[in-house]
A and B are shown apart, each in its own frame.
Chain A
Amino acid sequence: DAKTTQPNSMESNEEEPVHLPCNHSTISGTDYIHWYRQLPSQGPEYVIHGLTSNVNNRMASLAIAEDRKSSTLILHRATLRDAAVYYCILPNTGNQFYFGTGTSLTVIP
C-alpha cells in the first residue's frame, strides 16, 4: 500500500513556480523519497529522489522537511509540458513501488 498522501489536483500559471506537497508521516530512517510523473498516454518517468538533504537536478528540486515526514517537489518555472500526474513514492526494501493516486497538475497558459 502507498505510504504517502498528496492533494488530488493543483493548478499553476505557466512560467510560475509550483510546489507539490507530499506527506509521509510513517517514513523510516532508511526510506528514500522518490518522485515520478506521468504525462498523458505515457508511462511514468523519474523526476528526482532524496534521503535527507534537499536535492536539485535539471528537472526539479526536492525539499525534505527536517523530520522527513513531508517533502515538496518544486518546479521552478512551470511549462505546459509539465502538465502531468506527479507521484511521491517511498519504495520498500526490495525497491518495489507502491503508487498512490498522485497529484494531477494543470498548467494554465
Chain B
Amino acid sequence: DAGVTQSPTHLIKTRGQHVTLRCSPISGHKSVSWYQQVLGQGPQFIFQYYEKEERGRGNFPDRFSARQFPNYSSELNVNALLLGDSALYLCASSLSTYEQYFGPGTRLTVT
C-alpha cells in the first residue's frame, strides 16, 4: 500500500513569496497533521485536520494556513515567506488515535 506522499520534494523560494505544499494521506486515513522541522530540532506541530475541519493549531503565525479536501488530501500554505521558514515540512496521517504515519517531507529553502 502507498504511504503518505508529499509534493514537491524540494523547492526554493524568495523572501516575501507564497508557497503551497501538498500531502496525500494513506488511503482510509481521515486525519492529517502538519509539522515543521528546522535542522537539528524535533518536528514542531503546526496543524491537525480531521474530516476537513481544523482540530488543532500549534504556535505558528497567521501566515501559516491549511485546508483538507473531501478526498482527505491536504495543503499547507505559507504567505510572506521569511528566511526562518526554511525547514523540512512533514505531513502525517492517522486512522486512529495511536499511530501517525509520516511522509518523507518537503524541503523548503527560502533565500
Instruction: Report how far A102 CA is from B42 CA in the complex, Å.
Output: 7
Decide if A95 touches B42 in the complex (CB within 8 Å).
Answer: no
Contacts of A94 in B (CB 8 A): 48, 55-56
Given A43-B92, A43-B105, A44-B90: A97 touches B100 (CB 8 Å cut-off): yes
Decide if A87 touches B42 in the complex (CB within 8 Å).
Answer: yes
Decide if B44 touches A32 in the complex (CB within 8 Å).
Answer: no
User: Is A49 positioned at the interface, with any CB of B under 8 Å from its CB?
Assistant: yes
Chain B contact patch, size range: 20 to 34
Q: Which residues of B contact A (CB under 8 A)?
A: 4, 31, 33, 35, 41-45, 48, 55-56, 58, 90, 92, 94, 97-105
A-B contact pairs, 22 of them (CB 8 A): A36-B100, A43-B92, A43-B102, A43-B104, A43-B105, A44-B92, A44-B102, A45-B102, A46-B100, A49-B99, A85-B42, A87-B42, A94-B48, A94-B56, A95-B94, A95-B100, A96-B48, A96-B55, A97-B33, A99-B35, A99-B43, A102-B42
Q: Which residues of A contact B (CB under 8 A)?
A: 2, 32, 34, 36, 42-46, 49, 85, 87, 91-92, 94-102
